[in-house]
Structure 1
Amino acid sequence: MGLRAGNSRKKKSPEREVKRTPLGAVRRSQLITTYGVGSLVAFEDQSFVVSGLDSWKVPDQLDLFEFRLEQWLGVDGFHLPPASDPPAGDGVRIRRFPEMYACPGCTHGPSPDKSKCGPCCEENIRPFRHFNSPRGKSECAACGGDLTPSRFVVACENGHLDDFPYWAWVHNRTASTESSTSGGHQLSLRTTGRTASLSSIIISCTCGKPPVSMEGAFGRWAMKEIGVSCTGARPWLGRDAREQGCGLFPRALQRGSSAAWFPVVRSALSIPPFSQELHKQVRKHYKILSGENDETIMRLVGKTELKDRYEPADVVRAVRDYEAYAAGERPDPSTITGFEASDVLRVEEYKQLIRPSRTEDFESERPVPDPQAPVLAGIAETMLIKRLREVRALQTFTRVEAPMEGDQKDRYADLSVGEVKWLPAVEVVGEGVFLHLDQDRLKAWESAEPPAEQVQRAQQIREHHDAVLERRAGNRVPIPKSKVTARFVMIHTLAHALINEWSLDAGYPASSLRERLYVSDDMAGILVYTATSDSAGSLGGLVGQGEPRYFKKTLESALERISWCSADPLCMEAEANGADSLNMAACHACMLIPETSCETNNSFLDRAMLIGTPDGRTKGFFRNEH
Structure 2
Amino acid sequence: MSTHLVGQVRPSQLLWTYGPGALIDLPNLSVITMGLDRWDINRCPPVEEARLLAAVSRLLGPQVERLRTPPFLIDEGVNPMSAEGKIGVPVRPFPRWLRCVKCGLLGEFDSGLFNIKPNPYRPEQTHFVHANCEKGTKSDAVPARFLLACRNGHLDDFPWHWFVHSGPSECRGTLRFFERGASLQTENLWVKCDSCGVSRSLVHAFGKEAQENLPACRGRHPHLDSYDHSCSEAPRAVLLGATNSWFPVTLSVLAIPLEKNHLSQLVLDGWEYFSDVESPDEVRVIVKTLSKSGGLPGIEQYEPLDIWQAIQEKNNGNSQTDIISEVDIKIPEWDVLTMASPPSDFPQFLSRKTETPTAYKDKIDSVLLLERLREVNALIGYTRVEAPEESLNEEERPPMANLSRGRPTWVPAGEVYGEGIFIKFQEEEVENWAKRIAVHGRDQKLRKGHQGWRNTRGLNPEEGYPSIRYAMLHTFAHLLIRELALECGYNAASIRERIYASDDPNSRMAGVLLYTAAADSDGTLGGLVELGKPENLERLITQALTRATICSSDPLCSEHNPGDDRSLHSASCHACSLVPETSCERGNRYLDRALLVRTFECQDAAFFEGGRNSYG
TM over 0.5: yes
1:596 maps to which of 567, 574, 582: 582
Distance 2:548 2:352 in 1: 30
Quote the offset at 1:428 in angstroms.
0.6
Amino acid at match of 1:569: P
Equivalent pairs counted in the alignment come to: 556
Other structure's SS at 2:472 match: helix
Aligned match of 1:468: 453
Aligned match of 2:61: none
| 1:249-268 alignment runs, 5 A limit | 249-268=234-253
Aligned match of 1:218: 206
Other structure's SS at 1:597 match: coil
**Taking structure 1 as reference, are residues 550 and 216 closer, same or farther at Cα in structure 2, changes over 3 Å only?**
farther
Aligned match of 2:380: 395
Aligned match of 1:305: 283
Quote the offset at 1:420 in angstroms.
3.0
Taking structure 1 as the reference length, what is the TM-score of the superposition?
0.81
Other structure's SS at 1:190 match: strand
Taking structure 2 as the reference length, what is the TM-score of the superposition?
0.83
| 1:174-573 alignment runs, 5 A limit | 184-206=172-194, 208=196, 210-219=198-207, 222-226=209-213, 228-238=215-225, 241-273=226-258, 276=262, 278-282=264-268, 302=280, 305=283, 308=304, 310-311=306-307, 313-315=309-311, 324-331=320-327, 344-355=328-339, 356-358=342-344, 359-368=346-355, 373-404=358-389, 405=391, 411-448=399-436, 451-452=437-438, 454-473=439-458, 481-521=463-503, 522-533=508-519, 537-573=523-559
Quote the offset at 1:288 in angstroms.
10
Amino acid at match of 1:529: Y
**Taking structure 1 as reference, are residues 100 and 64 closer, same or farther at Cα in structure 2, changes over 3 Å only?**
same
What is the percent sequence identity of the aligned residues?
Answer: 33
**Taking structure 1 as reference, are residues 438 and 535 closer, same or farther at Cα in structure 2, changes over 3 Å only?**
same
Does the Cα contact within 8 Å between 2:220 and 2:227 map onto a contact in 1? yes
Other structure's SS at 2:24 match: strand
**Taking structure 1 as reference, are residues 89 and 429 closer, same or farther at Cα in structure 2, changes over 3 Å only?**
farther
Aligned match of 1:45: 28
Amino acid at match of 2:166: N
Distance 1:320 1:523 in 2: 35
Quote the offset at 1:303 in angstroms.
7.5
**Residue-by-residue CA offset, 1:399-443 (whole Å, 9 max, x unaligned):** 000001466667111111233321111111111000011111111
Other structure's SS at 1:501 match: helix
Other structure's SS at 1:188 match: strand
Quote the offset at 1:209 in angstroms.
6.5
**Residue-by-residue CA offset, 1:34-87 (whole Å, 9 max, x unaligned):** 111111112212001111112222328852110001111113222111013654
Distance 2:9 2:164 in 1: 38
Pairwise CA RMSD = 3.1
Aligned match of 2:91: 94
| 1:83-122 alignment runs, 5 A limit | 83-84=72-73, 87=84, 90-107=87-104
**Taking structure 1 as reference, are residues 488 and 409 closer, same or farther at Cα in structure 2, changes over 3 Å only?**
closer
Unaligned runs of 5+ in 2: 58-63, 119-126, 285-302
| 1:573-612 alignment runs, 5 A limit | 573-576=559-562, 581-612=567-598
**Taking structure 1 as reference, are residues 57 and 282 closer, same or farther at Cα in structure 2, changes over 3 Å only?**
same
1:78 maps to which of 62, 67, 70: 67
Quote the offset at 1:183 in angstroms.
6.9
Q: Which moved more, 1:47-56 or 1:613-622?
A: 613-622
Amino acid at match of 2:525: L
Quote the offset at 1:207 in angstroms.
5.1
**Residue-by-residue CA offset, 1:111-134 (whole Å, 9 max, x unaligned):** xxxxxxxxxxxxx11212232324
Amino acid at match of 1:248: E
2:163 maps to which of 164, 169, 174: 169
Quote the offset at 1:471 in angstroms.
3.2
Distance 1:611 1:378 in 2: 13
Amino acid at match of 2:529: V
Does the Cα contact within 8 Å between 1:32 and 1:394 map onto a contact in 2? yes
**Taking structure 1 as reference, are residues 369 and 396 closer, same or farther at Cα in structure 2, changes over 3 Å only?**
closer
**Residue 126 of structure 1 pairs with residue 107 of structure 2:** yes
Does the Cα contact within 8 Å between 2:44 and 2:70 map onto a contact in 1? no
**Residue-by-residue CA offset, 1:332-353 (whole Å, 9 max, x unaligned):** xxxxxxxxxxxx2101100111
